[in-house]
Amino acid sequence: MYTKRQAGSTSAGGGAPSQSVALAAMMFAVAMTFIDQTIVAIATPDIVDELGLSASGMQWVVNAYLLALAAFFALGGRLADLLGPRRIVVTGTLVFVVSSVLCGCVPRGDAALTWLIVFRTTQGLGAALLFPAALAVVVAVFPVERRGRALALFFGVTGALTALGPLLGGWLTDWTWRAIFWVNVPVAIVALILTAMAHVSDRRRDEPLDVPGAALIAVGMGVSVLGFQQASAWGWDSAITWVCIVGGLGVLYVFCRYELRTAHPLVKLAVFRDRAFVVDSFVLFFAMLAFVPLFYFASVYAQVSLSASPNQAALYLLYFFAGFALASQWGGRILDQRGARPAMKLGCAVGAIGFALWAGKLTDLSMHDQWPYAALAGAGIGFILAPASTDAVNRAIDASYGEVTGVTQTIRNYAASVGLALFGTLLTHSMTDKVTDTLESRGVPSEAAGDAARGVAEAVTGNADDQRFSGGGAVADTVRESMSAIRMDFAEANQRVFYGMAVALGIGFLGALRHPGGTQRSEETSDDSRARR
């Protein structure tokens, strides 16, 4: 977004920007967006219990944030160019924190689901404005010789905060799940104060905004994810399911064709001329199909099948993050010495094996016996994310750091949305089939067993017997008596999800084999390319 000549420019008020304060401000601002990718998953059973939401409804609450983040990320980067990054950082922070407060104030009753989805969407919009603008500030404030270290710190610290989400969510949920949204308020206040103190410059570009492109990418992503998400309710044989999936993907194809023709595109798709960038993006897509959705499915599994508390579920996820953190450091060294290809191949192979072995242990219903496989799965993702993302940025031809990051982040967030929707549908179908079999084996007629199974699958909570089946009747009594078996059914249904994640990483491995190999372009070459722009 910003060239070498812009680094270290003065602010609108005439003073030189404070680099350390500006970096701290951007890290505080972006911290909220990373934490919110994982913090809600821990509180899912409590939210479902208090507000009476269905499982598919709760998946929309989680997915609305990711989908908005993907759909509007490129728009956020473009607005930072046109209106100035400092202004967009402030705007994004305000949109994000106001939406967070409103999410925490959701009323009980029929309007609860709509309320949460709307304000989770605007929360994602705030994050989409905030992140690329914050990145632009860091790139603009730091000169070339210090920029690499600043960006490494920016991505390293903010990325590590993803692990803080489950721990913070578990602790806050013990008080009230609403606090997982309200915790963003003090962070936002600190970020806004530091931004004001930093005297960040606000240069603009006098170019038009690609409104048609912004509309096309938002519609294409939204409609396609809607099809995946609702397939559990509409059925895979339903025409409307495939109209949404195929229609949404068709709109995204039209978006790509339009972006290649327009003079001032929202997303510069010319970066896909580089084969390494294409492979990096492909591997990132399939890695993210598993990475973010894992937090939702693993935390609900822990609280339903393992009867864990929110805090215990958070600790369960730490097994994954332990492997992730160690492999991220190792993967960075492999990238520096041998390039991204060996790191991505190793990560996809280790991740596929880890998720497959983890899936096989889910039915043991023992949290502590699963830690080696959870850590192995985390290590696989750790080997992939930083090397693939860094290699994509360094190999992209004639594009700025911010523009390329906009493309990779859009791909990553869209993949997370698709993964949550696709695996959520798989879980619901599998859970329904297994509970139906359990109830039929205990004498419940097929039609009644199917109806009850759909109710249990939609509840997806350890208190399903109390919530949905607290009344009388033979079927309700059988469901209550069968809860131990139903919790095992839920574990078996999750096995399919985790095996699906293993398959996704296996596909990523096949893609990594196509990477041309070698190390990234040098810093000087990358800088010269950006300076010529």
User: 93-107 pLDDT, tens per residue?
Assistant: 999 999 999 999 999
- Going from N- to C-terminal start, the domains of the chain cover 1-9+16-197, 211-261, 432-488
Q: Give yes or no for residue 523 having a pLDDT over 60.
A: no
In this prediction the pTM is 0.81
Q: What is the pLDDT of residues 43-74, one digit of tens each?
A: 888 888 888 887 778 878 888 888 888 888 88
Categorise residue 444: left if φ over 0, alpha if ψ from -120 to 50, beta otherwise: beta
Closest alpha carbon to 480 in 466, 490, 494, 491 = 466
Look up tokens 């990594």; give the residue.
512
CB atoms within 10 A of CB 358: 28
DSSP letters for 366-432: -TGGGHHHHHHHHHHHHHHHHHHHHHHHHH-TT--HHHHHHHHHHHHHHHHHHHHHHHHHHHHHHHH
Which helix (H) or strand (E) segment holds residue 322: the answer is helix 310-338
pLDDT-based confidence at 396, cuts 50/70/90?
low
pLDDT on residue 458:
65
Determine the length of the chain: 533
Q: What is the pLDDT of residues 491-508, one digit of tens each?
A: 999 999 999 999 999 999
Helices (H), ranges, 442-522: 446-459, 464-468, 474-481, 483-512
Cα 95 from chain centroid (whole Å):
19
Radius of gyration of the chain from its Cα atoms, rounded to whole angstroms: 23
Is residue 430 within 8 Å of 493, Cβ to Cβ?
Answer: yes
Look up tokens 């859009």; give the residue.
410
Task: Give the C-alpha distances (Å, rounded to integers) separating 68 from 120, 126, 250, 528.
Answer: 8, 9, 19, 34
How many Cα atoms occupy the beta-carbon half-sphere of 65 within 13 Å?
27
On whether the 1-9+16-197 domain is CATH 3.40.50.300, my answer is: no
Is residue 384 within 8 Å of 343, Cβ to Cβ?
Answer: yes
How many Cα atoms occupy the beta-carbon half-sphere of 172 within 13 Å?
22
Q: Residues near 345 by Cβ (< 8 Å), separated by ≥ 6? A: 509, 512, 513
Distance CA 269, CA 248 (A): 19
The mean pLDDT of 172-194, rounded to a whole number, is 90
Look up tokens 């895979």; give the residue.
236
CB atoms within 10 A of CB 481: 12
Distance CA 23, CA 78 (A): 21
pLDDT on residue 115:
94
Report CA torsion sign: 107, 113, 119, 124. Answer: positive
The mean pLDDT of 277-287, rounded to a whole number, is 94
pLDDT on residue 146:
73
Closest alpha carbon to 228 in 72, 411, 426 = 426
Indicate the Cα dihedral angle 245, 251, 254, 258, nearest 10°. -140
Task: Give the C-alpha distances (Å, rounded to integers) separating 341 from 274, 279, 446.
Answer: 15, 9, 52
CB atoms within 10 A of CB 239: 9
Instruction: Give 402 or 3, the one with higher predicted confidence.
Output: 402
Q: What is the pLDDT of residues 236-278, one digit of tens each?
A: 888 999 999 999 999 999 999 999 898 888 888 888 888 889 9
